[in-house]
């Protein structure tokens, strides 16, 4: 297997990059990344700190551009569309490609309004009936296994929830927008072992409905929770394959060294 070529999966292609490079000022953070990510799988981005994995994740919804002094070359195709085409709306892109951050970031408003926040932003005022909104809340909270626990507390401020519940709520906030891709930047780093296990169970339940790309430093989590892994080093994609193959029989010596803890 070559590092950047397609992995052995016949699923529909969700994300594809061609010769993707990115600079922060004069520093090149990504170097000619060619990767294919398949729909309905959980793909892990692994590698030592500073290797470019979070930068790559943030390319998929163009959030890097918020930071200024960023230059990007190459191509990213998501669901058949180059996201750098001039007719691409960032708002529409981020509806289709949602993001969950390292620490839960619920808004300091009610649980119900957190779930509806995105869909209200993207819908004309008054275009959705109360019954439609109620159904969105129930469906989204149900998908993240929070409905039974919170259905009688929807007016409660979301910042009072446990960290695990807050992170699940942040995932639920994406779902009324009907995303096709969900990006996750170390979503369990603020959680304890039990919370991490429950978030991983949730990812397993969501995997067939969404394409999920997750950055993780936790090698045990990568091995447990992902279908495929991409190993990155110093801004380059070193290896991409099925998780079992990457961990048990890596094709590249650098991957083996990292998996075995010899650096990073």
Write down the pLDDT at residue 125.
82
- The pLDDT score that the predictor gives to residue 262 is 76
The answer, yes or no, to whether residue 1 has pLDDT greater than 80, is no
pLDDT at 23 over 60: yes
β-pairing verdict for 27-38 and 13-24: antiparallel
pLDDT band for position 263 (cuts 50, 70, 90)? low
Q: How confident is the model at residue 208 (pLDDT cuts 50, 70, 90)?
A: confident
- d(Cα 218, Cα 226) in Å, to the nearest integer? 12
Distance, in Å, from the CA atom of 48 to the CA atom of 231, rounded to the nearest integer, reads: 9
Q: What is the pLDDT of residue 8?
A: 41
Strand order in the sheet with 13-24: 27-38, 13-24, 70-78, 81-82
Does residue 159 lie in a domain region?
A: no
Q: Which two tokens stand for residue 96?
A: 């289709």
How far is CA 183 from each of CA 25, 56, 75, 131, 148, rounded to the nearest angstrom?
Answer: 25, 11, 18, 29, 26
224 in any annotated domain = yes
High-pLDDT (> 70) share of the chain, %: 95
In a domain, 42, yes or no: yes
In this structure, what CATH number is given to the domain that contains residue 84?
Answer: 3.40.50.300
Sign of CA dihedral 225, 182, 164, 48: positive
Q: How confident is the model at residue 246 (pLDDT cuts 50, 70, 90)?
A: very high
pTM of the model: 0.91
Structural domain harbouring 40 = 13-102+182-259
Residue 35: both structure tokens together: 């990767």
Both tokens of residue 103? 């620490």
| Tens-place pLDDT, residues 123-169 | 888 888 999 999 999 999 999 999 999 999 999 999 999 999 999 99
Residue 49 falls within a domain, yes or no?
yes
For the chain, what is the domain count?
1
């Amino acid at each position: 297997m070559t590092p950047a070529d397609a992995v052995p999966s016949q699923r529909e292609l969700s994300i594809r990059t061609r010769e993707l490079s990115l600079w922060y000022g004069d520093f090149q953070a990504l170097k000619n990344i060619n990767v294919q990510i398949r729909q309905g799988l959980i793909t892990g981005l692994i590698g030592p700190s500073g290797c470019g994995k979070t930068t790559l994740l943030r390319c998929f919804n163009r959030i890097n551009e918020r930071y200024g002094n960023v230059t990007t070359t190459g191509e990213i195709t998501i669901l058949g569309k180059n996201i750098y085409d001039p007719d691409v709306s960032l708002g529409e892109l981020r509806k289709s490609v949602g993001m969950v951050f390292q620490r839960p970031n619920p808004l300091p408003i009610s649980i119900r309004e957190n779930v509806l926040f995105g869909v209200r932003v993207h819908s004309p005022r008054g275009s959705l009936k109360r019954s439609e909104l109620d159904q969105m809340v129930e469906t989204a909270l149900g998908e993240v296994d929070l409905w039974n626990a919170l259905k009688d507390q929807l007016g409660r401020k979301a910042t009072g929830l446990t960290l695990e519940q807050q992170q699940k709520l942040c995932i639920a906030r994406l779902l009324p927008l009907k995303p096709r891709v969900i990006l996750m930047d170390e979503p369990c780093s603020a959680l304890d072992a039990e919370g991490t296990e429950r978030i991983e169970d949730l990812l397993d339940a969501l995997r067939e409905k969404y394409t999920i790309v997750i950055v993780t430093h936790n090698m045990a989590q990568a091995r447990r929770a992902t279908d495929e892994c991409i190993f990155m080093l110093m801004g380059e994609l070193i290896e991409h394959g099925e998780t079992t193959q990457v961990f048990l029989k890596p094709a590249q010596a650098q991957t083996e060294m990292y998996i075995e803890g010899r650096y990073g």
